[in-house]
Amino acid sequence: MRLYFLSTLEVNFRVYFLFCNYGGQKLTDFYSKFLTCTNTKMTEINASVQPKSFFAGTVSSVEEQGLCCFHCGLPISGQKYLEQEKQFCCAGCLAVYQLLSSSGMQQFYELQSMPGNAISNEGGEKTYAYLDDPVLQKHLFQFCEGDHVVIRLKVPSIHCISCVWLLENLHRLDAGVRKATVNFLKKEVRVHFNISLLPLSKLAHLLEKIGYPAEFKWNHFKRTSFFEEHSDIVKLGVAGFCFGNVMMLAFPEYFTIEVPHKYKYFFGFVSLLLCLPAMFYSAKDWFTQAYKAIENRHFSLDIPIVNGLLVLFAISCYEVMIHHQGGYQDTLCAFVFFMLLARYFQRLTFDHLSFDGGTLSYFPMSVTLVKEERSTIPLMQIQINDTLYLRNAEVIPVDSILLSDSCLVDYSYLTGESQEVWVERGAMLYAGGKVCGKAIEIKVIQTVKKEILEQIWEDGERKSHKTKVSFADKISPYFMIFVYSLALIGGLWQWYDSHDFNMALFSFSSVLIITCPCALAISAPLVHGLMQRKLSKKGFFLRNGSLIENLYKIDTIVFDKTGTITESGKELKSIFDITNQEDRFAIASLASNSLHPISRKLANQEQKRLEITDYEEVVSCGIKGNANGKIVQLGNKEWLEKSGFELPQACQQRGSSLLVVVCDQKVVQVFETCDVFRNHWQTTIQQLRAYYDLHVLSGDTDQARETLSREFLKPAQLQFRQNPNDKQKYIQNLKENRLRVMMVGDGLNDQFALQEADIGVAVTEAAGHFSPDSDIILEAKSWSRLNDFLAIAKSSVKLIHVNFMISLIYNVLGILVAAMGLLTPLFTAILMPISSLTVVVSAVFGSQLIVKLRKL
């Protein structure tokens, strides 16, 4: 019976951990999905996880006409590729189909219809030769012994069950692969392969060939050891094991069963032994943190916690060894277990988000070196006087001199200006610029900056300079003083009253036991974790839960303009138009061939499609094609001006963000791409204005000054033409004036400011997209709810205060009992869990109420 109970207890714990992992709702979610899926075998699972592509809408309408690619599901326009009665949109998709069908891997298409990824030929085939460099490989491999290598690759294009199937059957495509395991949420593949049969570069090629190119960026390859990743759950398991078994042994005391003295001693001794792992392994972190806090001479909640643990342990030892009594082992273990549980709950990580996006993912892993012939080398092997070859959209890795004629460089990373700059031959190019247009050659005059390299090699988490003092930390010193003086008074009073030293000591220790700040240690992380989960569902992702307390203190909000208050390049405004109906059909048909967002917009303007031949796409310039004998060309101003077309007078003075359409050698239409303000931005600003001091920093010119000043009221707080360093200084100034600043920005140009501010919020168009280093990631669609999010954070902190009051009431109750010397282990074993439970219940319901009140 007893054995059975114990084993079920362990099993229950295991199930419970699984449950923790999923986070309650997710589990039920999963089950309902699972049930529907097994019936139909279709995988709606994925539709909800990630929409397949942004043309989902168009796909379904075209699907009925049977005009989609069998592989990737994109509508087929222009040339068709046929194979075994199946249609493909491009040679790439066809090739994947042929490869898979020849290896007998048809199941890929059966698990889900049209599962493939479009094979993009943008920029030609990438060269992965640099990946075979042994120095670089040392940093990429997770494990390497002889030929057997394990690597974890980030594959962003994983989106459905078929992807998982295909990648896990990679060994059927190449004998060099031993095993591949996919982590769907992280979009990672762990590949075990034989490096002598299949070099890393070949593996990368293989993945690209089947439409799953791996991303090779520095920050994906930072290694974390097993114990960093999993120690939490192991600690929790150990604490649970101790707790369960110690409780078993305490049963006689709970039910006041009279047991012979020798058994009592035995039980006490065994449970004391069982306490040791909970105390010295599971609770290790609190000990080290408390030690650090004492060393740095500041006070944190860890100190009273450790104090409570030590007192409990010492008294238990004393009771068991000297008095041969039961002791407080069960309370101690329960305490450790619940605290770990709360902490585990708080340590929620968002697998698909990267808060450390910044610089690391911006700089390339390899560069093309020109020496007699072109070869790719790893970034850190660049030497002074090397000649490098940079293609369109590649980042200039080091300061260098331009050898080619002239080129456009986008310095938005450094300056925040969204406008490209012309650089002439022989001029300086600064590291961090992005090449626009045709490929260039540069001569290196400086080696890779040390800071960048340091960041690349540095392991573990980025050190944060931001101090975080939570409410619990702040009150803990007063708490300690209060408790000790109370215990002392109680002890002295007992001594005075009864002249019994033992009794006085007992009363003193009892007060210390009962005031263990256990509820306090549980309540704050629990509320943090709950809120973090709730907010993340609405697109407000906190890096960690304790940021809630920082949000509470914010009094100043600084916004970036472009991309934050406005959406960039979202609107096309026609400023010159002499097209006829036929022209418009031709333009829309041509645009439908391109995947560029602006082209998609143009394509949607007309429904009728003409056949396009001689289609040509010049990357980052424009597109060109022949529609029923009409030659149509559309692209940016620079490209068309270079091709010898002259813009109409009216458009000459406009900025550079113009889109020009040429039909039969004549400019027929000019569009201006302009920024639009986000939906409901005015209401959001008005709401925020009531509580916060608002500032705007913009890298652009002051075109929008009037519109903004109407809402922001204080014109002095609108700053234009700010470069990243200006922004950082501005925030520094605000902080020096003792303001608590939250910075809301979007691009790399806000990076420094985001780091400088007390809280950095990065706005991204969709979760999982690139975002700079930040504390919080905010999805653009939830932007207008910013005020609600902040209000929720405020209420959450108040909830923590309420919980603190609750646990204080219990403590006062306990202290009264303890000071009278009436405390028994049984009383503690009941009071402690009850107080924790009340706090947990109030945290759960309180946070639900807060969210409901805000209608989130």
Short-list 404, 412, 399, 398, CA closest to 439: 404
Tell whether residue 161 is a contact of another protein (CB under 8 A). Answer: yes
245 binds another protein (CB under 8 A): yes
15, 82, 185, 834: residue in contact with another protein (rule CB under 8 A): 185
Cβ-contact 390, 396 below 8 angstroms = yes
CA distances from 56 to 70, 110, 112, 212, 461 (A): 15, 20, 15, 20, 38
Pairing of strands 556-560, 741-745: parallel
Residue 185, token pair as written in the block:
């949420």
Residue 536: how many CB atoms within 10 A of its CB? Answer: 17
Closer of 45 and 453 to another protein (Cβ): 45
Q: Which is nearer to another protein, 113 or 288 (CB)?
A: 113
> Beta 666-677 vs 658-663: how paired, if at all?
antiparallel
Site for another protein in 25-54 (CB under 8 A): 30, 34, 37-43, 45
Binding residues among 118-147 for another protein as defined by CB under 8 A: none
Quick one: which H or E segment has residue 423? strand 421-424
Question: Binding to another protein by residue 12, rule CB under 8 A?
Answer: no
Kindly report the backbone phi and psi dihedral angles of residue 705, in degrees, each rounded to the nearest multiple of 5, phi listed first.
-55, -45
Size of the site for another protein (CB under 8 A): 60
Query: Of these, 248, 551, 661, 668, which contacts another protein (CB under 8 A)?
Result: 248
Per rule CB under 8 A, is residue 249 in the interface with another protein? Answer: yes
Q: Residue 742, Cβ neighbours under 10 Å: how many?
A: 25
260 binds another protein (CB under 8 A): yes
* Sign of the four-CA dihedral 808, 812, 818, 824: negative
State which residue, 279 or 429, has the beta carbon closest to another protein: 279
10 Å Cβ neighbour count for 462? 13
329 in contact with another protein (CB under 8 A): no
CB within 8 A of 105, min separation 6: which ones?
166, 169, 172, 173
- For residues 154 and 148, the answer to whether their CB atoms sit within 8 Å is no
The candidate with the shortest Cα–Cα distance to 96, out of 70, 124, 65, 74, is 70
Regarding 244 and contact with another protein (CB under 8 A), the answer is yes
C-alpha–C-alpha distance, residues 633 and 298, integer Å: 67
CA dist 59 and 516 (Å) reads 61
* Residue closest to 559 by CA, chosen among 715, 433, 727, 686: 727
Binding track, positions 104-123, relative to another protein; x by CB under 8 A: x-xx-xxx-x----------
241 touches another protein (CB under 8 A): yes
User: Considering beta carbons, is residue 267 or 506 the nearer one to another protein?
Assistant: 267
Site residues for another protein, 444-473, by CB under 8 A, read: none
β-partners of residue 86 are 83
CA pair distance 591, 569, nearest whole angstrom: 17
Q: Is 558 in the site for another protein (CB under 8 A)?
A: no
Contact window for another protein (CB under 8 A) among 182-190, 481-489, 674-682, 845-853: 182-190
Q: Is 165 one of the binding residues for another protein (CB under 8 A)?
A: yes
Residue 62 binding another protein, by CB under 8 A: no
Alpha carbons 513 and 235: distance in angstroms, whole number: 23
| One of 65, 84, 467, 607 touching another protein (CB under 8 A) | 84
Q: Is 226 in the site for another protein (CB under 8 A)?
A: yes
Residue 676's SS3 state is strand
Minimum CB separation of residue 347 from another protein in Å reads 13
Question: Of these, 15, 16, 18, 121, which contacts another protein (CB under 8 A)?
Answer: 18
Among 74, 131, 250, 274, indicate the residue that binds another protein (CB under 8 A). Answer: 274
CB of 539 to another protein, least distance (A): 20
Q: What mask, x for binding another protein by CB under 8 A, covers residues 338 to 367?
A: ------------------------------
Residues near another protein, by CB under 8 A: 2-3, 6-7, 9-11, 13-14, 17-18, 21-22, 30, 34, 37-43, 45, 84-85, 104, 106-107, 109-111, 113, 161, 164-165, 168, 181-186, 226, 229-230, 233-234, 237-238, 241, 244-245, 248-249, 260, 263, 266-267, 270, 274
